[in-house]
Amino acid sequence: MNAFSIGTVMCLAFLLLGCDQQKDVKKLGLVYCTETAPHTFNPQLESSINAIAVTSRHLYDRLVEVDPITQQLVGGVANNWQVSEDGLRYRFYLRQGIHFHKTDYFSPSRNLNADDVMLSFERILDPEHPLYILANGDYPFFNNIGFGSNIRKLTKLSDSSVEFELKRPDAAFLANLASDYAVILSAEYADKLSQANQLGLLDQLPIGSGPFYYVNQRKDHFIRYYRHWLHWRGAPPMQQLVFDITPTSSIRLAKLLTGQCDIMAQPAANQLEVLKAREELLVSVQAGLNVSYLAFNTQKPPFADVRIRRNVAGLVNKQRILDSVYLSTADIANGVLSPSSWAYRHQSRSPEQDHLVYPYIEKAKQQPIELWVLNEAKSYNPQPRKTAELIRNDLVNDGYQVNVRLLDWQVLRRYLRAPEVNYDLLLVGWSTDNSDPDDFFRQQFSCDAVEQGYNFSRWCNGHFEQLLNAATASPRLADRVRNYYKIQKIIEQDVPILPLTHALKMYSYNDSVHGITWNPFGGVSFNNAYRK
């Protein structure tokens, strides 16, 4: 990083935030350099875990939460809940005295109550709800897990209690309600916007009850929050929280080195030595519940044939990818789940041990293979383009013809939801936002997720679906683990994807900042952060 580029970064930062505002942030707040800007301020509508990390836990609360230390469920908006003996009814009792944000564009006249919970979930469940229609029913997380299809009824029992009635038991239900997507919105704010014929602003000018409230932004450059003095857990120590949107890792590093940022998301592996050389900078490293993988389009030749999938899976040199892309910041994936998961099963054998019939291989090599790449640096894959080239070289060296196509997420999403999808291979990955394996398996491999465009292998297996439903139907952990082991064995045998790596989650920050909580499922909490 030369003097000119560092100076340029400093000038740009001052121009974007303004000199006075920059001084205020340094004295009274924190600046977090992150890679992804949200497309909406409503996490219910988001599909990127990196994007909701900028909004969800800062602006909103949820019915229940996951304790970042113990990973156990604890109360959120609901301070208590009951589950019926048959596992079909979940009754939630709401805390009293939870205040919504007061901003320049909205002043609440009441505290959070059951009406707000009803609105937050009815907009997802009811196809005739104005907000469902406004969003075209596109709630990626909830649609992928089949949330609405298993809710028989949502009932307001009183101003301080609601009840979900399910069609079948779901052991992952509470974990899903604790996800970053399941936020509680203000029904009073929605009513005000509806009366003004501006309901669309609900998801763009946010009102929540979280520890910070929205102030302003410059799109794709920065987002500014102020602390919520009346937050039910107590006001955060820092007055301001600014998210500096910086997709390029080298520029995030420059801003951290020059003091323009206090915290940097996901430094690149080759930047760690620079960070370690600076006494005032610390690096946080955690095992991540993520996986990068190569998805085979199982609905299209040649990879509709499992023998070809196994052959190609055996050609990819994972160790070379690890050494070239991740250095020491990832582990080779020996299964689809991270070893940090309580349902992890080590893959018992490698695909390259399968003996394939030669004519099928030769036929597959006669036609070019389209390898599509999500060309955005993610925590699970910091250099997707380089990874794709390594995979391409492995296949070309064995006689396959491979064309690489780079796509950003928004373009890729449009293609994935088209009636016909023309890629053969897709280099992507996944980071989960809760500890329940159902979150990963249902969104990545279920038949419903094919239609939603998140089952990237387009693989649909009836036996898998039965085991997946059986895993969530049982409240006993031993039964669930047994079913998830069987699920992983099916995936190993049928090879809809080739797991590549499990990456570490890394952040770097100035040693003057204390009290940061690193969420094991992604994102950072600044509720208790302070500068010393």
Average of per-residue pLDDT across 224-252: 96
Residue type, 528: N
Q: Is residue 192, in this structure, part of any structural domain at all?
A: yes
> Quick one: pLDDT at residue 4?
40
Same domain, 189 and 139: yes
Same domain, 235 and 147: yes
Residue type, 41: F
Q: Is residue 8, in this structure, part of any structural domain at all?
A: no
Q: What does the pLDDT look like over 172-230, one tens digit per residue?
A: 999 999 999 999 999 999 999 999 999 999 999 999 999 999 999 999 999 999 999 99
Output the furthest CA–CA distance in the chain (Å, rounded). Answer: 73
Q: Is there a contact between 455 and 449 (Cβ–Cβ < 8 Å)? A: yes
Same domain, 345 and 322: yes
Same domain, 454 and 436: yes
Q: What is the CATH number of the domain that holds 361?
A: 3.10.105.10
Residue type, 332: I
Q: Is residue 398, in this structure, part of any structural domain at all?
A: yes
- Tally of CB atoms within 10 A around 267: 23
Same domain, 500 and 521: no
Instruction: Write out the two tokens for 214.
Output: 């929205």
Q: Is the pLDDT of residue 518 over 60?
A: yes
Same domain, 223 and 328: no
pTM over 0.85: yes
Q: Is residue 58, in this structure, part of any structural domain at all?
A: yes
Same domain, 489 and 525: no
Q: What does the pLDDT look like over 85-144, one tens digit per residue?
A: 999 999 999 999 999 999 999 999 999 999 999 999 999 999 999 999 999 999 999 998
Same domain, 494 and 526: no
Q: Is residue 367, in this structure, part of any structural domain at all?
A: yes
> Quick one: pLDDT at residue 144?
87
Same domain, 498 and 517: no
Q: Is the pLDDT of residue 258 over 90?
A: yes
Same domain, 87 and 199: yes
Q: Is residue 330, in this structure, part of any structural domain at all?
A: yes
Helix-helix angle 19-28:3-17, to 10 degrees: 90
Q: Is residue 264, in this structure, part of any structural domain at all?
A: no
By mean pLDDT, which of 11-25, 42-56, 108-122 is the weakest? 11-25
> Quick one: pLDDT at residue 400?
97
Q: What is the CATH number of the domain that holds 134?
A: 3.90.76.10
Give me the number of domains the chain comprises: 2
For residue 384, the SS3 value is: helix
Question: Which residue range(s) make up the domain with 83?
Answer: 26-257+512-531
Strand 263-265 and strand 29-34: the pairing is: parallel
Q: Is residue 271, in this structure, part of any structural domain at all?
A: no
Q: Is the pLDDT of residue 354 over 70?
A: no
Query: Percent of the chain at pLDDT above 90?
Result: 75
**Residue ranges of E strands in 61-132:** 64-66, 73-75, 78-83, 89-94
Same domain, 456 and 434: yes
Residue found by looking up tokens 């693989």 in the block: 459
Same domain, 295 and 165: no
Q: Is there a contact between 352 and 339 (Cβ–Cβ < 8 Å)? A: no
What are the DSSP calls for 199-234, one per residue? GGGGGTS----SSEEEEEEETTTEEEEEE-TT-TT-
